[in-house]
Amino acid sequence: MNSFATQTIAQAAAQTIYLQISAGQGPRECGWVVAKVTEKILAAASQIKLCATLLEARAFDKASMKRNVLEPETASYKSALISLAGDGAQALFEQWQGSVQWQGESPYRPGHKRTNWFVSVQCVDYSCLSPASISALEKDVRFEATRSSGPGGQHVNKTSSAVWATHLPTGIKLRVESDRSQHRNRRIALERLQLQLNATEQAAVQQQVAANRLAHYQLQRGNAVKVFCGADFVEKH
């Protein structure tokens, strides 16, 4: 990618707001509300011509986790991460910031007495998606343009706006066709790659912490490599 395109990506990242919609510790019904709120925010952003993208969604069930497109009638998400870019992004966020309440009967447990469900909408600071991080990541990514296959009529299918992004050091590969603009899809691909790499790194750290904790409780009695005796702690030979 040329320097102008790289600069544009960095500038766009600097102006982007990241919204996290979360069910917290709530049940699956709250996850359903997360999906509905996500749909509403994306629709509101589209009406005022904002660049809005669902970057990440954590599902309550494996079936939802495999979906790339929200299906609010059935989807249930623990959390969703949306990026908003453009004039009016901050104003839109302020309209949603805080707790969102839904009043209604559970779509999963007919007859359940509870009728009030809450989710949160917060602005999150993703330092891993900073312009510097994205620019550094871009050097390790190979892009391939391809035709989009999603909705949008003849214009989408005739233009090579979709992209395959391959992270060369790890081999992680993903396809993005969220937008009609190839440039915009490149940026979305970089953001999603960075989130995936960040999650992998965090998982590795957690695994190491767990291994260290396990090692803390492992003690073999007998077959000592060194033996010490007495109050003077003298090594026995």
The whole-angstrom separation of Cα 80 and Cα 48 is: 21
Length of the chain equals 237
CATH tag, 131-216:
3.30.160.20
- Which pLDDT score, from 0 to 100, does residue 62 have? 57
pLDDT in tens, the chain (237 residues): 444 344 444 444 446 888 889 998 899 999 998 999 999 999 999 999 998 888 888 887 655 444 444 444 457 888 888 989 888 999 999 999 899 999 998 988 888 999 899 999 988 877 677 777 788 888 888 988 887 665 544 444 456 688 898 989 888 888 888 777 788 888 888 888 888 887 777 677 677 767 766 665 655 666 766 777 777 767 787
C-alpha separations of 194 from 26, 109, 148, 173 in Å: 28, 37, 23, 12
3-125: CATH topology is Alpha-Beta Plaits (3.30.70)
pLDDT at residue 208, as a whole number: 72
Q: For residues 180 and 188, give the distance between their C-alpha atoms in angstroms, rounded to a whole number.
A: 12
- Counting Cβ atoms within 10 Å, is residue 187 exposed (0-12), middle (13-18) or buried (19+)? buried
pTM for the whole thing? 0.62
* Cα end-to-end distance, the chain, whole Å: 67
pLDDT at 156: 46
108 token code pair: 């999963």
Cα separation, 54 vs 57, in Å, equals: 7
CATH 3.30.70.1660 domain residues, the chain: 3-125
Q: Provide CATH 3.30.160.20 ranges for the chain.
A: 131-216
